[in-house]
Chains A and B, each alone.
Chain A
Amino acid sequence: MSVDTKRHAAVVNRVDPLEPVPVLVGRPDDRELNQTLFAPVWAKTRKGWLVLFALALALTGLLFTAIGYTFAVGIGAWGNNIPVAWAYGIVNFVWWIGIGHAGTLISAILLLFQQKWRTSINRFAEAMTLFAVIQALLFPLIHLGRPWFAFWLFPYPSTLGVWPNFKSPLLWDVFAVSTYFTASLLFWYVGLLPDLAALRDSSKSHAKRVVYGIFSLGWRGSARHWRHYRIAYLLLAGLCTPLVLSVHTIVSFDFAVSQLPGWHTTIFPPYFVAGAIFSGFAMVLTLIIPARKAFGFEHVITEKHLENMAKVLLATGLMVAYGYLSEHFIAWYSGNKYEQFVFWNRANGPYAPVYLLMLFCNVLVPQIFWSGRARRSIWVLWIASILVNVGMWCERFVIIVTSLHRDFLPSSWAIFKPTVVDWSILIGTIGFFGLLFLLFLRFVPSVSASEVKELRRELEHEAAPPHPVERAAR
């Protein structure tokens, strides 16, 4: 850890809680920022990193072993059955997709709303989005009975003369998720360009210069480039905002469009999106809290950021709670005995514990963020964020498995029991996610240097009204 970051840490500690916490501590100049923010990339590989990396690698191995086994013997390797034809596969899919929402949301929506505190966490959040979506993308493929025919889901001209069925929500999924991944990836990469160039120019070794030189495509901060770049970035943000909302809406259609009690609910789209942001922010917190400590980013990722995210958790948590409430109310109000049974069964059926855990994690836990001290306490934040992630996984389990295992005809009711393979895949994806994330932390600046530099200038200009073009840029 470099000397000046120590100084910033000191600054942080001296901050009087009554004063608004700054989004950028101290007035580091560009070169300083470069040093501190790129430090993780230039620094030697740390032991801690290696240990974590080894662990993640092992879990990734587990994941792909489990997937290979599933391909070899069939979906029977999982616990799925009739009636519970969807289980962990889809639960994990929805969970990861949900997590993969915060990134784009933070960078896109907050950019549009000109939230200054966005700047130093967006790169981080976007990366997390990408890696979460990669996990999610695994599942539509591996949960197929005949994955080798997965390409039939795409409308390509085959000699069969048959086309996909565009009435199926699953097909909407295919389009939504792949679009979301592509868009997020490009948005992230475009945002990275200036930093990659900076890395190229500030790196010592020839090899690194070449590599970063290739990936920065020859960026040289030319005013001609900035002119296109700013508007392009803004437009991407503008497009990603509705996109991110559409994706989880469409994912929720997988359930809302069917007619299974517990799935066939109009509240789903908004309630899924809220849930997605909820879990997404939780995951950002889970990751960023240790990372900022490890890399000494306290001066750029300040308590202000954490506190704001805690507020978002509280807000979205309330939305989710409202979702649960309205679900149950409508079930009761509908007078449909099938609908009513499903919700009675959630609380009293064999899967009641999962349901209660869900309520605890998603409804009760966020309430502590009414207190400012909780919002500013790193530990409370971190543990709460983890609990929320658990809770959101339970929510998907409750929605999918609990609704399926007891539907219309009692004659076909049955219990779903996960197998070792099910667990391996769930844990494996977490490992794979971690793997990608560790690589990101090691080789890419996890805080956007160029944007922080810009932010610094803004804070200096605060007094004078910002330049119109610049406003557009933010």
Chain B
Amino acid sequence: MSVFRPRSNTIFRVVLVLLAGGAAATLGGLMGYARVPAGTGQQEEIQQPVLFDHRHHILDDGIDCRYCHQTVERTATAGIPSTAVCMNCHSQVWNRSPRLEPVRESYFTGQPIPWVRVHQLPDFVYFNHSIHVNKGVGCETCHGRVDQMPAIVQVQPLTMSWCLECHRNPAPNLRPREDITVMGWQPEGDPVALGNELMKRYDVHARTSCTTCHR
């Protein structure tokens, strides 16, 4: 008399399928997760010590990015504005607004404002703003429509493969230097032709050597 019953066959097979499927799903899930915003930290809301609204400063006041991010064309870091820069205007306007209290406090105590970092690369990645900006890569390309962000979020995955896309074929991401800070910039005329033309003009070429970013 067999120890198994007809339903054993089904059970046995189902279990096998579950085991195999489960293993596959776990691996696939991890790989997938690494590619979705949840995994790359995109669209993550981040509390800043001061409710700074880029939207308002760019659209309503028409301030150029470089007014505050002064060193973007000259150094690796774009440069977080010193409190003094804020006070240039806010000593005059909104100089009583409670929202700006932390700024004034910083200015008078000399304590820096503890901004929270949004775009964060590993320490072994050496990203340099100046070279990108000078070779015609716009702020928008990596940081997105800042002019539409009440609070800054990371819009690009910032994964290595994402960097590589552009490092292998920069042309589509180039724009004339004068439009670097323009938001929602559209190439007039044939984008491909323009891209290639800019490649020549700024002497841009693909760089995928490891030491370009890792030192």
Is B63 interfacial (CB 8 A cutoff)?
Answer: no
A206 in the interface, Cβ–Cβ < 8 Å? Answer: yes
The winner among B2, B35, B164 for most chain A CB atoms within 10 A is: B2
Q: B157: CB under 8 A from chain A? A: yes
Q: For the side of the interface on B, what is the size category? A: 10 to 19
User: Known: A157-B31, A159-B35. Is A209-B160 also a contact (CB below 8 A)?
Assistant: no
Q: Mark A209-225, 1 if CB is under 8 A from B, else 0.
A: 11001100010000000
Report chain A residues within 8 Å CB of B34: 158-159
A160 contacts the other chain (CB 8 A): yes
Closest to B3 in A: A209
- The answer to whether A159 and B3 touch across the interface, beta carbons within 8 angstroms, is no
Q: Tell me the complex Cα distance, A162–B167, Å.
A: 14
A/B pair count, beta carbons within 8 Å: 30
Report the bound CA distance from A142 to B31 in whole Å: 24
Name the residue among B3, B9, B34, B161 with the largest chain A CB count within 10 angstroms: B3
Q: In the complex, A210→B164 CA distance in Å?
A: 55
B3 and A206 within 8 A (CB): yes
Q: Let me know if B67 is at the binding interface, CB within 8 A.
A: no
Binary contact readout A145-181 vs B (1 if CB under 8 angstroms, 0 otherwise): 0000000000011111110000000000000000000
Evaluate contact between B31 and A161: CB separation under 8 angstroms: no
B3 surroundings in chain A (CB, below 8 A) = 206, 209-210, 213
Q: Is B12 an interface residue (CB 8 A)?
A: yes
CB neighbours of A218 from chain B (8 A): 4, 9
For residues 19 through 51 of chain B, which have their beta carbon under 8 Å from a beta carbon of chain A? 31, 34-35
Chain B residues contacting A157 (CB-CB under 8 Å) are 31
Residue B91 at the chain A interface, CB threshold 8 Å: no
Interface of A, helix, strand, loop or mixed by DSSP: loop
**At the interface, yes or no: B169 with Cβ under 8 Å from chain A?**
no
1/0 contact string of A251-278 vs chain B (CB within 8 Å):
0000000000000000000000000000
Assess the A162–B160 pair: CB atoms within 8 A: yes
Asked if B12 contacts A161 (CB within 8 A), the reply is no
A160 to chain B: which residues have CB within 8 Å? 159-161
Contacts of B159 in A (CB 8 A): 159-161
Residue in B closest to A160 when the chains form the complex, CB atoms: B160
Tell me if B4 and A161 are in contact (CB < 8 A).
Answer: no
Give every chain A residue within 8 A of B31 (Cβ-Cβ). 156-158
A178 to chain B, nearest CB (A): 16
Q: How far is the CA of A209 from the CA of B4 in the complex (A)?
A: 9
Smallest CB gap from B9: residue in A: A218
Which residue in B2, B9, B160 is a CB contact (below 8 Å) of A161? B160
Q: In the bound complex, how far is the Cα of B9 from the Cα of A161, in angstroms?
A: 44
**Chain A residues, CB < 8 A from B4:** 210, 213, 218
Task: Other than A159-B162, A213-B4, A218-B4, give 7 A-B pairs with Cβ distance below 8 A.
Answer: A159-B157, A160-B160, A160-B161, A161-B159, A161-B161, A210-B4, A214-B12
- Contact surface of B with A, Cβ cutoff 8 Å: 2-4, 9, 12, 31, 34-35, 157, 159-162, 164
